Amino acid sequence: MDDRGGSFVAVRRISQGLERGGDYHSTSAEVVAGSAAWIGKGLSCVCAQRRESDARPSFDLTPVQEECLQKLQRRVDVPYNSSNPEHQEALQTLWDVSFPEEELHGLISEQWKEMGWQGKDPSTDFRGGGFISLENLLFFARTYPKAFQDLLQKREGDRALWEYPFAVAGVNITFMLIQMLDLEAVKPRTMSGAVFCKLLSENELAFDILYCITFKLMDQQWLSMHASYMDFNAVMKSTRRELERELLLEDITRLEDMPSYSLLRS
């Protein structure tokens, strides 16, 4: 990861979980410091142009696509601010939708480790993803609650003894997508980024939906690779390759057409 990043922690799963309010809930167990793991069809209106000063091509956008991209970039540019009431409220809401049966005893609390944050203050983990990474988690929890809870509680599959921490992994995913889609560039410089801009112009929630798809896909890759926390970088790279492949499939005209979208409904 670049200088905006942070460290990654591994969560040891001592037991399958414990009951809370009748719902299955995984325990945070032990948390240890780990290595840094931060790691087309229908594009007739998009033309590749190579600049002399840049070895990579850039892609021209329609005015609508450019406007949608700039709107998303403004979201990406917002850092998490622990003194901002709106950000505080969003963080509180994330807890409420994640653990509706358990009251949070403060925005700085050991309870946050249950969700897979590195410590008792989640704000320290947002450096790599900014406020949009919190928005992504909230969107996931509200829009696909079953898929969200399945990942949060590690309900599916034969899990590793040392599991990835859910919340920190979520911030990693936001950061990876920003890089993959080249969202900090004026224009996309990859075909997958150009395809995404077209999808974004047709659905302003495209980034949030793609985030949810990516989280489920990452977990599937994790399970299929029989990964443990030392493999997190490899899992993220594999996830990125699969995302790029699916975005370039000929029959993808919306995110719901991506094969991995079905993981959100399973």
The answer to whether position 74 is within a domain reads: yes
pLDDT at 56: 55
- Total domains present in the chain: 1
pLDDT lower than 70: segments of the chain: 1-57
**pLDDT (tens digit, 9 = 90+) per residue, 98-148?**
999 999 999 999 999 999 998 999 998 987 789 999 999 999 999 999 999
User: Residue 119's domain spans which residues?
Assistant: 66-97+109-264
Give the whole-angstrom CA distance, residue 247 versus residue 253.
Answer: 9
* Within-domain flag for 36: no
Helix runs in 81-165, H state only:
85-98, 131-143, 145-152
Tokens of 165: 């921490």
2, part of any domain? no
In a domain, 57, yes or no: no
In a domain, 58, yes or no: no
The residue with tokens 């969700």 is 115
pLDDT of residue 263: 95
Q: How far is CA 155 from CA 146, 162, 171, in A?
A: 11, 15, 20
How far is residue 178's CA from residue 174's CA, in Å, rounded to a whole number?
6
Q: For residues 38 and 68, is the Cβ–Cβ distance under 8 A?
A: no
40-67 pLDDT, tens digit per residue, is 222 222 223 334 444 556 788 899 999 9
What is the pLDDT, as a whole number, of residue 62?
A: 92
User: Would 33 be classed as within a structural domain?
Assistant: no
**Residue 11, beta-bridge partner list:** 31, 163
**pLDDT score recorded for residue 203:** 96
Within a domain: 182:
yes
Asked whether residue 43 is assigned to any structural domain, the reply reads no
